[in-house]
Copies of this chain bind each other. A is one copy, B any other.
């Protein structure tokens, strides 16, 4: 994909660079900055030209202050990205988010692009379309931690003027793999479009955007965030025939089909006992 903007950042920080999304985004985002600083706690590829590789646990306040030094903007993909026990989600996603924002404030970072998740609203139904400004209905501890991050972002904007675009990412994968993802899929190229739009829109305050491709079926209406300028170009539609052939039947009375969060809403060692 061509570069999507002529704007150049001096130094961007990509956290979570060892994760699946981080590895995919690293070469893509390098093109938009003089220096791309990447961080994680897991092993990462060595620094290429114009890159800085930093091992920095999100829970480590001092490490975060160092990490944010000299950074224009952050792509915050670090932390736990699937459901885990609360004791695991807490340090990475709650303490970690706090450390990152506080470090950004102290170091004068202007904007954070926060990888939130559709699981912030996973208990809305697959049979309804929602906007971003609905009451959160997280479906997991993971989703709960992302809702915390969004509120944190709102606070740092209202109190300190630090801007954020919170991205409620759907299913960012090379291709969709099941019926649910026909609605929730976000292509890698559209993810890049979303990040570049979020980085370059002149004013964002704290804006929330669902991260999905231009799929024919969707549960999300991004019309409250036209100002961010995200226009997806891909669609899950060409995988539809194969996926529908492989998974012809879905049962809308099962929670994992009924709710937008899909399988996340029934994770954990206890039966589903919600009602609405």
Q: Hey, which bits of chain A sit against chain B, CB under 8 A?
A: 5-8, 86, 90, 94-95, 98, 102, 105, 123, 125-129, 133, 135-140, 143-144, 147-148, 151-152, 154-155, 157-161, 163, 179-180, 183, 197, 200-205, 207, 215-221, 223-229, 231, 240-242, 244-245, 248, 250, 252-253, 257-258, 265, 270, 272-276
Contact = CB atoms under 8 A, between A and B. Distances in A.
Q: Top 3 closest A-B pairs, CB basis? A: A217-B229, A127-B205, A126-B203
B197 A216 contact: yes
Contact of A223 (B6, B221, B265, B272): B221
Give the most central of A102, A139, A151, A218: most B CB within 10 Å.
A151
A95 B151 CA distance: 17
B148 A151 contact: yes
Given A147-B151, A183-B227, 4 more contacts: A137-B158, A138-B154, A158-B276, A216-B231
A163 to B, nearest CB: 7
Given A6-B244, A133-B135, A158-B139, A227 B127 contact: yes
Contacts of A229: 183, 215-218
Contact of A95 (B90, B105, B152, B203): B90
B203 A125 contact: yes
A227 B128 contact: yes
A160 B268 CA distance: 11
A190 to B, nearest CB: 13
Contact of A161 (B139, B161, B242, B274): B274
A246 B33 CA distance: 17
Nearest to A155: B138
B159 A139 contact: yes
A112 to B, nearest CB: 14
16 contacts: A123-B154, A127-B207, A128-B205, A128-B224, A137-B155, A139-B159, A158-B274, A159-B272, A159-B273, A197-B216, A203-B250, A215-B229, A216-B229, A218-B226, A218-B227, A221-B226
Nearest to A111: B252
Contacts of A129: 223-227
A123 B200 CA distance: 22
